[in-house]
Amino acid sequence: MMVTLQLFAQDNGVEMADSLRSNGKIYVVVICIVIILAGLLAYLFSIDKRLKKIEKENYTNK
């Protein structure tokens, strides 16, 4: 009861995703986004690594 009162005290009438955050479900979204980003960045690192290998081969062939 006290918590909700405090929440209302903070609220200036603008609707925000308070319940989403208090239910904890927002973490699911954050985790998904982080996994996608981390996956893409890891992929970028692997492309970089492969490119480095090709560059080395090219350099020694010449």
- Is the Cβ of residue 1 or residue 48 nearer to another protein in the bound state? 48
What is the Cα–Cα distance from 18 to 7, expressed in whole angstroms? Answer: 9
- Residues contributing to the site for another protein (CB under 8 A): 11-12, 14-17, 26, 29-30, 33-34, 37-38, 41, 44-45, 47-48, 51-52, 54-55, 58, 62
What is the Cα–Cα distance from 13 to 23, expressed in whole angstroms? Answer: 20
DSSP conformation letters of 46-58: HHHHHHHHHHHHH
- Closest separation in Å from C-beta 2 to another protein: 20
- Is the Cβ of residue 2 or residue 44 nearer to another protein in the bound state? 44
